[in-house]
Structure formats: structure tokens, C-alpha cells
Amino acid sequence: MKRSRTLTMIALLVVFAAVPPLAGRAGFLTDYWALLMGLAVCYAAAGLSLNLLMGYAGQISLGHFALLGVGAFTSGILSGANRLGLPFIVAILGAAVMGGLIAFLIGLPALRLRGLYLAVVTIALSYAAEQSVFRSSFISGGSSGMELPRPMIGSFVLTRNADFLAVMLVLLLVLWAVDVNVTRSKLGRAFQAIRTNEAVAASFGVDVTRYKLLAFVISGAFAGVAGAMYGHLYQFVNSESFGYQKSLLLVIIVVLGGLGSRSGVSTAAVFYALFPVAMIKAFGTGFHGTDLIVGSLLLMYTIARYPGGLAESMREGREKRAVKAVRKAAQAEAQGAPSDEPDVMPRLPEMPRPSGLAARKAEPPGTPLLSVRDVSVSFGGLKAVDRASLDVSRGKIVGLIGPNGAGKTTLFNAISGLIRPDAGSVHLLGQDISRLPAHARAMAGMGRTFQLIGLAKDLSVTQNLLLAQHVVAGYGVASALTRIGKAAKIEGELEQRASDALEALGFERFANTPVKNLSHGQQRIVELGCVLLTAPELVMLDEPSAGMAPGAAENLAVRLRDVRDELGRTVLLIEHNIPLVLDVCDELYVLSSGEMLAHGAPEEVVHRADVIDAYLGEAVSV
């Protein structure tokens, strides 16, 4: 299969390089239409660029054409006859580097923060570029604009548009291939996890800020190439070539084409490059601008009705039908077999320790693993957690109970690094991790689940199992983008583990199903499988039995003991299901109004008067 992909690429390369020049010479492709098709290729490249940022990573840029401008002017300065006069290929590479660099510089302050700051910064960039930077005499020759040369092969200059179109198509193919590599690597999974849920991404070890920035930098490099192509195609650019409105048009292209869909976005880009011209040709200039009116209305409709993009909703429809069919078939096949009960958790697989992690010292059970000291968290004036301390020893299952609003999940978030406590310390394996961000704590050996399921719910089960192995995907960005070096080999290992886990969980038939289409109990099983996949030192579970049938909860108790006794993991568990807690826990902590109320053996703790008073309400009879 890999081989066929490479062959397809080579075949396309040859076709793209050969067809336009031949068609041009044979008279099938006039210079005018070649120019228009060149514009379409530019838009497609720009669309891929914005799609990578918006469709994959869920961040918006409203000034993307400014980055195209950066590419065009850079390329012009590098290759221009009266500028540096460097070869075309150097100019294109320079445009990519500069596009990425500017993206890095303006993305760094904006992407550390959550929310819409990147949109704000990119609007500002768009105006600053159009009105100031691109008009400076050093960069563009001031108001007169800048001329860009066509590339040369030997002494042959590609003055014909059809000839240059071939070059552009080849460049687009390169961008396309890189984009495919992004989606097939940990980068694409990290981007999509960030788009779905930043906290979940971080708990799987994804450095959210770094990956958001990476998405913008790659997107900026793509934009640089797209802009350079635009410049060399028209052989002239000025500050007005890269205005705010074009950036907005690009947003329309990406949303209508379908967020995250390469082919959809490219199609929409080609349409928006060719359609207005064709309509004006057919119906006269009265049609001018109508494409934008229709496009913007469609954008509002599409985003309101199908916020994930048209492509996604189509894909989803297909998959939902497929899941239904699979369910029906499974029911018909094995009537009444208890193992097909969706909520019942199968025996969890013992996965070999991932090769990317350092070999663990064989420490005996009972040695201290997690130590939380005097942690306090407040929101505004409200103290959610007040000087709470707890210890977890290796090889134990430790329960954390308390009434709703006692601060259990907040304490969990403070331990796993999702919120920064006002005071207190957290030590894992004797190492102070109080200052580490969530993703670094995941790397240090913490795995956790969430009350509302800590998975990237838009992604398939397999994709989640791959995402969960982010901490052991030890290859670099360059290798991921080119698929040269370690990336291919390591991805192969990850895929193998994912498919082993699928099999062990008995979820093969849901391999490509988006997690959100599974039942709650099934999602819970996948989540646990994901967390255990990288064998974390400490497994933190936030109400795993919530929403499960009573029978399933008993089954859960068995599996939790498996996790402790057979997989040798340590568990910290938030639970409301007291019978389950009494059944599996070695020790129990009770949190009430943010303060640690009691600690001890489960049987003793639940019979203490203050615990009954604060939480249980009545004596527990066991």
C-alpha cells in the first residue's frame, strides 16, 4: 500500500509537470486560462494552509493573506533581477521559511492563551502589513509595487503561463504530500485533540501551546509558498494584493470546502478562483461581487448547521449508518451472549512497556509514589480546595470520596496540572512536579480519566489509541513532515500497539468509529484502555462508574483489581459508588468543603460520625 502511494505521487508528478506545457503548446490551454488556473492553484495552496490551522488545530487566522504577502515579497527580494537574483527554488524556500517565521513571531504571544487571541492578532497583522510594511520602499518599492521574475530552467525562462502552471502544480503536490504526512503523524492527532479538547490533549502529554504554535508555523510556511507562487504567476504584487477581504474569502473557502477536508477545501478554492470570472464572462460585470454575497450567506448557514464542516457531517452520516449495521449484525450473530453486553469491560490487556520510556526501577509495593501537600485552589473568592494533603503508595488503590462540590475534581486537576494551585506541592516518585504543566506530568508518568470521558471524541477509536501514545512517539517534527527517518518506523509500532489493544478490548469492529458514536460505557472502556496503554505510574480515575449499569460496576471492580494486581499499577480513584469503593480500595480519603476530613482504612472511615454527617447521610451497613 505504501508503495502504491509513492507510485501515485510519482505518476501525478509526471502528469502535472507534463500536461499543462503540452496542452499550452497544442493550443488547448490559452495563456488567459492558464493564468486563471494558476490563480486556482494559489487559492488551493492557501486553502490547505488555512485548513491546517483551522480545520485540524481549530485556531482561526483572519489575516492569512498577509502571510501570503510575506511569502511573495520575500520571494521577490530573493529572486528579483535588481534585488538578490537568487534561483527560484531558493526564493520559494525562503518564502516558506519567512512565512513560518512571521507566524511564529505573532503566534507566540497569542497562542499561549486560550481563545480567540490569534484571530485578533492576525487582523492586526493584516492591516499593518497592507498599510505599512508592504508599502515600505525597502520591501516593495513603495506604492509602485514589486516585480517578480518567472523561474528559469537553464537559460529557458518560463514566460508562458502554461509552463509556469506546471511548476505550481508540482509545488501544490509537495504541500499536499506534507499535509498528508501531518495527518498521518502525531502532529495531526495532537492538532485535532487540541481542537476537540485542550485539557484532554494535555493529559495525553500534548504540549498544547507548542503544538498550536507548530500548526500556525507550518500553516505560515504553506502560506509563504502560496504567496510566492501568486507573485511569480502575476509577476507583480503590491500592498493591495494581500488585503483583508482576501483573507476573509479564504475563511469562506475553508469552511464551505469542509474544515479538515483537503480535497473539499481545494475544490472550493478552485471554484472561487474560476467561478466569478466565468460568471462575469457569461453574464457581464453586473455579476461582480455576487459570489461573495452568496458565499458569505452560505458560510453563516454552514457554520450554524454543520459547525464541523460539510465534509465531516457527510463522513459522520456514513459512519453512523455503518455503526448501526455493525451493531445489528453483531446482535443477530450472538444473541444473548453476555460478553457482547456493551458496558461490560473485558479483561484489560497487559501491554508491554513502550520502548520509548525509560526502564522503571522495580520498586516494591508500598513505597511512596504520589505525595500531595497542603494544596489550595480558589476561584475568585471561593476556596475550592483548602490545604488538602494526601499520599498514595505504590501498588495500592486509593479512593477519594466526598459530597458533590467538595473539590474532588479540582484537586485532581491540581494534581494532574490542569490548574495551578495557589499554594502547596505535588511530588511524584520523590520529584517535585508542582511547577510542571499538565503535559509534562503526563510524560512523568501520570495518566487520568475525566468525568465526561477524556477522549478526543471527534476522532476514531484507533486514532484515540494512537493519540494516547503521544508520550512515546519519539520522533521529530522534520521526520513527521517528510516521513523520512524515525517517524514511519515508530508510527508502525504505535499502530501495532493500537491494534493489539483494540483486539484485547474486543473493539475491532469500532476501529474507525468516532468515539462520540459509542455508548457511554463503551467510551469509558476505550478511555481506560487509552490511559493504560502507556503504562503510567499513577492511574487517576474520575468517577469511572458514573453512568454505568450496576452489573457493569461490579465488573469494573474486578478490572480495577486487575489493574493493581496484574498490571502492577497504582490507582487514585474518585467515586460516589460506596460499595465499589469499599470493595476495591486499600485506603480512603474523604474531602468535604475543600478540606480533607478523614483518612484511613475504608471500613473505619465510612463508619466515622463526621464522615456520615458530611457525606453519607446514614450509616453504611456492610
Binder of another protein out of 49, 59, 523, 545 (CB under 8 A): 59
Contact code string over 177-206 relative to another protein, x by CB under 8 A: ----------------------x-------
Binder of another protein out of 285, 333, 379, 609 (CB under 8 A): 379
Hey, is 87 helix, strand or coil? coil
CA 481-486-490 angle, 5° bins: 100
The alpha carbon of 82 is separated from its chain's Cα centroid by a whole number of angstroms, namely: 44
Largest CA distance in the chain: 94
C-beta of residue 533 within 8 angstroms of C-beta of residue 351: yes
C-beta of residue 183 within 8 angstroms of C-beta of residue 171: no
- Measured from the CB atom, the residue of 298 and 322 that comes closer to another protein is 298
Task: Using the rule CB under 8 A, give the single segment among 91-99, 243-251, 271-279, 542-550 that binds another protein.
Answer: 243-251
Task: Using the rule CB under 8 A, give the single segment among 313-321, 418-426, 512-520, 539-547 that binds another protein.
Answer: 418-426
Task: Using the rule CB under 8 A, give the single segment among 289-297, 344-352, 494-502, 543-551 that binds another protein.
Answer: 289-297
Q: How far is the CB of 388 from another protein (least distance, A)?
A: 17
Cell 502589513 belongs to: 129
Instruction: Catalogue the long-range contacts made by 579-587 (C-beta closer than 8 Å, 24 or more residues apart).
Output: 579/553, 580/545, 580/553, 580/554, 580/556, 581/399, 581/401, 582/606, 582/620, 582/622, 583/557, 584/397, 584/399, 584/557, 584/560, 585/397, 585/398, 585/399, 586/396, 586/397, 586/398, 587/396, 587/398, 587/399
Binder of another protein out of 27, 338, 380, 430 (CB under 8 A): 380
Hey, is 417 helix, strand or coil? coil
Q: How far is the CB of 381 from another protein (least distance, A)?
A: 10
Q: How far is the CB of 271 from another protein (least distance, A)?
A: 16
Contact code string over 142-181 relative to another protein, x by CB under 8 A: x---------------------------------------
* Distance, CA of 106 to CA of 500 (rounded, Å): 43
CA gyration radius for the chain?
A: 28
Contact code string over 38-57 relative to another protein, x by CB under 8 A: ----------------x---
- Measured from the CB atom, the residue of 115 and 338 that comes closer to another protein is 115
- Measured from the CB atom, the residue of 111 and 498 that comes closer to another protein is 111
Q: How many CB atoms lie within 10 A of CB 374?
A: 13
Query: For residues 105-134, which are near another protein according to CB under 8 A?
Result: 106, 108-110, 112-117, 119-121, 123-125, 127-128, 130-133
Q: How far is the CB of 72 from another protein (least distance, A)?
A: 18
* Distance, CA of 221 to CA of 215 (rounded, Å): 10
Q: How far is the CB of 407 from another protein (least distance, A)?
A: 12
Closest CA to 162 of 46, 80, 41, 279: 41
Phi, psi of 257 (to 5 degrees): -65, -25
Q: How far is the CB of 372 from another protein (least distance, A)?
A: 18
Cα dist from 313 to 197, 259, 446, 516, whole Å = 19, 10, 35, 13
C-beta of residue 579 within 8 angstroms of C-beta of residue 399: no
C-beta of residue 194 within 8 angstroms of C-beta of residue 201: yes
Task: Using the rule CB under 8 A, give the single segment among 82-90, 286-294, 367-375, 446-454 that binds another protein.
Answer: 286-294
C-beta of residue 389 within 8 angstroms of C-beta of residue 375: yes
- Measured from the CB atom, the residue of 393 and 434 that comes closer to another protein is 434
Cα dist from 599 to 202, 442, 492, 535, 611, whole Å = 30, 26, 46, 27, 10
Q: How far is the CB of 75 from another protein (least distance, A)?
A: 22
Q: Residue 400 is placed in which grid cell?
A: 477519594
Strand-pair partners of 157? 152
Determine the size of the site formed for another protein (CB under 8 A): 59
Q: How far is the CB of 136 from another protein (least distance, A)?
A: 5
Binder of another protein out of 51, 413, 545, 592 (CB under 8 A): 413
Q: How far is the CB of 508 from another protein (least distance, A)?
A: 31
- Measured from the CB atom, the residue of 55 and 80 that comes closer to another protein is 55
Q: How far is the CB of 607 from another protein (least distance, A)?
A: 35
- Measured from the CB atom, the residue of 120 and 423 that comes closer to another protein is 120
Q: How many Cα atoms occupy the beta-carbon half-sphere of 115 within 13 Å? A: 5
Binder of another protein out of 13, 17, 35, 60 (CB under 8 A): 60
418 sits near another protein (criterion: CB under 8 A): yes
- Measured from the CB atom, the residue of 209 and 545 that comes closer to another protein is 209
Query: For residues 292-311, which are near another protein according to CB under 8 A?
Result: 292-293, 295-297, 299-300, 303-305, 307
C-beta of residue 241 within 8 angstroms of C-beta of residue 72: yes
C-beta of residue 202 within 8 angstroms of C-beta of residue 208: yes
- Measured from the CB atom, the residue of 344 and 591 that comes closer to another protein is 591
Pairing label, strands 538-542, 446-448: parallel
Residue ranges binding another protein (CB under 8 A): 54, 58-60, 62, 106, 108-110, 112-117, 119-121, 123-125, 127-128, 130-133, 135-137, 142, 199, 244-245, 248-249, 251-252, 255, 288-290, 292-293, 295-297, 299-300, 303-305, 307, 379-380, 413, 418-420
